[in-house]
Amino acid sequence: MELIHSKQDTAKLLHIVYRKEDLVNQQQRGVNISPDAMALQLRAISAKKGEVFPDHKHPPQHRTTDRTQESLVIIQGSAKATLYDTDDTALLSTVLKAGDSIITFEGGHRYEILEDKTLIYEHKNGPYNGLEKDKVMIGGPDA
């Protein structure tokens, strides 16, 4: 697991990259990837045949967030992720392969698809208020 912090405020966690190998090699059944206080929660689970997730549901709870957080899971293929700090400067680029996951709590990102037929699951907290309210372009090479 790679934790990427802001260079502007080194205590601020912006992004997490969680690799398929992290999950395969994990010693525990489950690992919480997101810190508990984050609006978007990600957990990695390594399960064995016959295990059961007990019947359950989640009761309504009032939650307040002030930003959209996003997670991608690469199902097939690969993508290059460029991750940005809160001041829009690039922090790093990394290649995500099948089974890898990335989560952005704050800061920006850019994804370049590297293979045909790349399949991705994208998760965000909602509600979705439209492109004009949901995204601010940073001004990278494809802006």
Nearest to 73 by CA among 38, 108, 101: 101
111 lies in a domain?
yes
Residue 4 confidence (pLDDT): 97
Residue 26 confidence (pLDDT): 82
Q: How far apart are CA 84 and CA 42, in angstroms?
A: 20
What residues in the chain have per-residue pLDDT under 50? Answer: 143
Q: How far apart are CA 140 and CA 143, in angstroms?
A: 5
Q: How many domains does the chain have?
A: 1
Residue entry with tokens 């704050």:
106
Residue 131 confidence (pLDDT): 84
Domain span holding position 18: 2-46+68-129
| Strands of the 78-84 sheet, one edge to the other | 90-97, 78-84, 108-113
143 lies in a domain?
no
Residue 87 confidence (pLDDT): 96
Q: How far apart are CA 4 and CA 13, in angstroms?
A: 6
23 lies in a domain?
yes
54 lies in a domain?
no
Residue 10 confidence (pLDDT): 96
Residue 78 confidence (pLDDT): 98
The predicted model scores a pTM of 0.88
41 lies in a domain?
yes
120 lies in a domain?
yes
Interval 12-48: pLDDT, tens:
999 999 999 988 888 888 899 999 999 999 999 988 8
59 lies in a domain?
no
Residue 129 confidence (pLDDT): 83
55 lies in a domain?
no
Residue 141 confidence (pLDDT): 55
Look up the CATH number of the domain holding residue 106. Answer: 2.60.120
Q: How far apart are CA 11 and CA 35, in angstroms?
A: 13
